[in-house]
Each structure stands twice: as C-alpha cells, then as structure tokens.
Amino acid sequence: MNKKIFSGVQPTGNLHLGNYLGAIKNFVELNNDKNNKCIFCVVDLHAITTKQDPLELKKNIRETVATFLASGIDPKKSIIFNQSMVSAHSEAAWILSCVSKIGWLNRMTQFKEKAGKDKEKASIGLYSYPVLMAADILLYDSSHVPVGDDQKQHLELCRDIAQKFNNDFNAPQFLKVPEPLIKKEFSRIMSLKDGLKKMSKSDPSDLSRINLTDDNDQIVNKIKKAKTDPMPMPESSKDLSKRPEAENLLGIYSSVTNNTLEKSIIEFQGKNFSEFKERLAEVLVEKILPISKEIKKLLNDSKYLDDIMLDGSNKAGIIATKKIKEIKLLVGF
Ligand code: TYM
C-alpha cells in the first residue's frame, strides 16, 4: 500500500537522541521506501507556543532542516518545509478549533506537563497546539504519522477531530483519519540522569541528553556520567523491572545497533556497567558524530537550507491550498 507520511519536529534547539531514535531515524527509513510519499515539516508555528527569541528561532529552523538532511532525509524524495510558509496550516487550525471540544483538550497530558503549576500564565497557543498538529496532518490526507510515544495522545485527538469534522459537515471520509506509526520498542527514550523522566530539550541539565550536535568528548562524557544502579548488568529482561536506567541505556544501545533488547542483554550479561558504557559510547559516537559534523557543515550554507525550505513550501503549498479550499467550501465560506 502507498503510504502518505507526515510528521513534524519543533525547531526549539537541542534536537537530541530521543528525537532521533523516536522519530527522525524512522523518517529516514520511510523516506527510503519508494512506495511512500513523505512530508517532513519544521513546525515553527508550534515553537512559538512558548516564548522564542526571533534570531534564535531563525537559527533553530535552519538547524532542524540541517538535521533532517544530515540524518539522511533526501529532499528529492521527500518534501521538507517549514510550517509558517504555508498559511493553510493556520487557517485550518482555526476552523478545526471550532469543531474541537474544550473537554478533549483538557485531557492532554503534555499541556499539563508543559504549563506546570501556573496554567493561567500559559499561552492559548500552548493549550490549542494539538489542534494545529491535527491541521498539519489532515491538510495532506496523511495515512501514517511516525512519532515518538509522547505524541500518541495528540494523534488520538487528531483522529477524533477528523471524525467530528466529517460528521458535522456531513462529509464522510473527507478528512482522512490517520494511523499513528509508533515503534513498539524504544519509542520513549529517557533522560540520562533519571530513567523515569523523558529525554527532553527543555531539561535544564545538558547531561540529561545527547544532542545531535555533540562532539566525541561530549558524548563519551555524558555516557560516563549517565545514572546507573549498583547492580551488575542484568541477566534477563525480567531483571529490568525497577531498573529504569539500565533499561533505558540498554534500549538506546539496542536501537542504535538495530538489535533486540534480548540480544543486547545477552551481550552484556553480568558485566560491569563501565564495560557496557564504554561500548555504548563507542556506538553512539559512530552514529551521532557523522550527523553532528554534517549539521555543522550544512549550517555554513544558509542559502542552501533556505532554498530547500522554499522549494518544499511551494510543493506542500499546492497540496494544502487545495485542501483548505475544500474545507472552506464545506464550512460555508
Ligand atoms: P517534538 O518537536 O517535541 O518532537 C519531535 C519528535 O521527536 C519525538 N520525541 C521522542 N521520541 C522518543 N523519546 C523521546 N524522549 C522523545 N522526545 C521527542 C516526538 O515524539 C516527535 O515525534 N507536536 C510535535 C510536532 C508536530 C507533529 C505534527 C508531529 C507538530 N505537528 C504533525 C507529527 C505530525 C512535537 O512537539 O514534537
């Protein structure tokens, strides 16, 4: 079956190993399959749901495109663009927000986490952000959406919004209800400092994550300092319950080496963490360093990156403009 793939990444700086293993690595595989039509979006409208410095944002938009390219997404095969250049995203988000229920958005755990205790001070954009995400996906009749595990709830909401719009406007199947593509394993990479907390760009400690722009010494140092427990490496996956740090590091190793968790456990059974960590740092350097070097090289040529976004926006714009026109007709405009 031909798949229409859509996914997005926020240009908020510090793209990390979680973004890579949870999402971008899968984008590359999907991009390489000739049967797929892929669209990868730098979601800059999502980024401004929290305060951004304009110059920093511009730099981060380019860095996100550079990361897509450096990881292996081919702009000749996939559309790469940034969201703000296709105005249909904002228009569709407004229309869809008028069919979405406050009760649905109140359930979103990510808003609760990001807004923290002072919910009253969060922006309205942060609250309605999943509706914009639904607009992104639905404008392109996307069939599959590859994301990390943390986006699951937002995708369920997107499906609800599509169905509600189709019902409200008596247009069965008009908005295509998408399928999430979330890997069963390693789709939630945890912090290197706390195995119960997601690896995140907003964690104040840089030691909690491997950034995709880290160099050799930073990667080795972060793995050396990663939290572990006093026990030796586990003998079986059963030993991993109540050992979140060991589970996370073994998960990272397995994902990077494309091995199953079971195979990785057998490889390091009963050994010391130090020996495992040395090997983990080695495979991470092997994987991340070429990406990091390529990102830095690409960032020297902002015109090249801007041209890719312009070309991608033109292509995405054609698809999205057609869909938003149909949406407006259905609504009665
Ligand atoms: P964002 O920018 O927070 O993250 C980008 C992608 O990285 C995944 N990810 C992780 N995966 C595993 N472990 C982690 N620790 C980890 N941290 C992040 C995310 O699941 C995501 O796939 N709302 C989205 C962006 C978005 C989008 C869309 C995605 C906007 N529109 C339409 C899909 C379709 C977000 O903020 O992702």
Measured in angstroms, how far is the CA atom of residue 83 from the centroid of ligand 1? 15
Per-residue pLDDT of the chain (333 residues; tens, 9 = 90+): 789 999 999 999 989 999 999 999 999 999 999 999 999 999 999 999 999 999 999 999 999 999 999 999 999 999 999 999 999 999 999 999 999 999 999 999 999 999 988 889 999 999 999 999 999 999 999 999 999 999 999 999 999 999 999 999 999 999 999 999 999 999 999 999 999 999 999 999 999 999 999 999 999 999 999 999 999 999 998 889 899 999 999 999 999 999 999 999 999 998 999 999 999 999 999 999 999 999 999 999 999 999 999 999 999 999 999 999 999 999 999
Label residues 19-29 b or e (16+ Cβ within 10 Å = b).
Answer: bbbbbbbbbbe
If you take atom 31 of ligand 1, which residue's CA is the nearest one?
Answer: 133
- CB 255 less than 6 A from any atom of ligand 1: no
117 as an active site residue: the answer is no
- CB 6 less than 6 A from any atom of ligand 1: yes
3-state secondary structure the chain: CCEEEEEEECCCCCCEHHHHHHHHHHHHHHHCCCCEEEEEEECHHHHCCCCCCHHHHHHHHHHHHHHHHHHCCCCCCCEEEEHHHCCHHHHHHHHHHCCCCHHHHHCCHHHHHHHCCCHHHCCHHHHHHHHHHHHHHHCCCCCEEECCHHHHHHHHHHHHHHHHHHHHCCCCCCCCCCEEECCCCCCCCECCCCCCCECCCCCCCHHHCCECCCCHHHHHHHHHHCCCCCCCCCCCHHHHCCCHHHHHHHHHHHHHHCCCHHHHHHHHCCCCHHHHHHHHHHHHHHHHHHHHHHHHHHHCCHHHHHHHHHHHHHHHHHHHHHHHHHHHHHHCC
Measured in angstroms, how far is the CA atom of residue 169 from the centroid of ligand 1? 30
CATH number of 206-297: 1.10.240.10
77, 183, 201, 315: which one is catalytic?
Answer: 201
Measured in angstroms, how far is the CA atom of residue 13 from the centroid of ligand 1? 13
- CB 251 less than 6 A from any atom of ligand 1: no
Measured in angstroms, how far is the CA atom of residue 19 from the centroid of ligand 1? 7
Give the separation between CA 176 and CA 6, rounded to whole angstroms.
12
Question: Is the domain covering 3-188+302-331 a CATH 3.40.50.300 domain?
Answer: no
114 as an active site residue: the answer is yes
**Segments making up each domain of the chain, as ranges:** 3-188+302-331, 206-297
201 as an active site residue: the answer is yes
Q: Which residue has the tokens 């991340």?
A: 288
